[in-house]
Amino acid sequence: MSRFSDAVNEQVGHEFGAHQQYVAIAVYYDAETLPGLAAHFYRQAVEERNHAMMLVQYLLDAGESVVTPGVEAPQTAFSDPVSPVVLALAQEKRVTEQISALAKIAREEGDFVGEQFMGWFLKEQLEEVSSMSALLAVVERAAGSNIQFAEEYLARMASEGVDPGAPPAAGGAL
């Protein structure tokens, strides 16, 4: 296996870890009777799971071994409605660094197919950091007065759907 393939396998674990963290955040908001925030993070969890499966499909297509690593337990307790979004934004920034490192490894190895594949993920991470930053700003403002304003914001910002340019995920769009 190449360094790039090893790193992609490692990223599969990071994406599954992000999936688990978003489930934990969604459950927190569900328990706090904030259905809009809960639904948003349940959708984010599915998206992270699909990112992991896109990476798996890439490895399969490239004829590389797939190693599904274990993940650390997610944080499940939060002190207030803002702290889960702070954690989510930090996670998205960390994933952006990880994806950038993957693209760099592919470039260093002269793996142009791998580098091109990572391009979609880089674009996705720009969007994820931007939208999570905006959500954090809204949740911080709403927490000072009425957290329901964050719920209304999410209702207005309803998902636009699946990116038709997204790489295929192993197992299809389950």
> Which DSSP string do the residues of 155-173 spell out, in sequence order?
HHT------TTSPPPTT--
Does residue 151 fall inside a structural domain? yes
DSSP state of 67: -
The per-residue pLDDT for range 30-42, each reduced to its tens digit, is 999 999 999 999 9
Token output for 66: 């797939």
Does residue 34 fall inside a structural domain? yes
Residue tagged 């957290």 (tokens): 147
**For residues 84 and 166, which has the higher predicted lDDT (pLDDT)?**
84
Does residue 174 fall inside a structural domain? no
Token output for 92: 């998205």
Please give the model's pTM, rounded to 2 decimal places. Answer: 0.90
Does residue 167 fall inside a structural domain? no
Does residue 17 fall inside a structural domain? yes
- Whether the per-residue pLDDT at 63 is higher than 60: the answer is yes
- Looking up residue 91, the CATH number of its domain turns out to be 1.20.1260.10
The per-residue pLDDT for range 93-141, each reduced to its tens digit, is 999 999 999 999 999 999 999 999 999 999 999 999 999 999 999 999 9
pLDDT, mean over the chain: 93
Distances (CA, A) of 172 to 12, 67, 69, 85, 166: 16, 19, 21, 29, 12
Q: Where are the alpha helices (DSSP H) in 32-82?
A: 35-61
Does residue 163 fall inside a structural domain? no
pLDDT for residue 4: 96
**For residues 11 and 173, which has the higher predicted lDDT (pLDDT)?**
11
Domain count along the chain: 1
Its domain, for residue 126, covers 3-69+78-156
Closest alpha carbon to 15 in 58, 43, 56, 66? 56
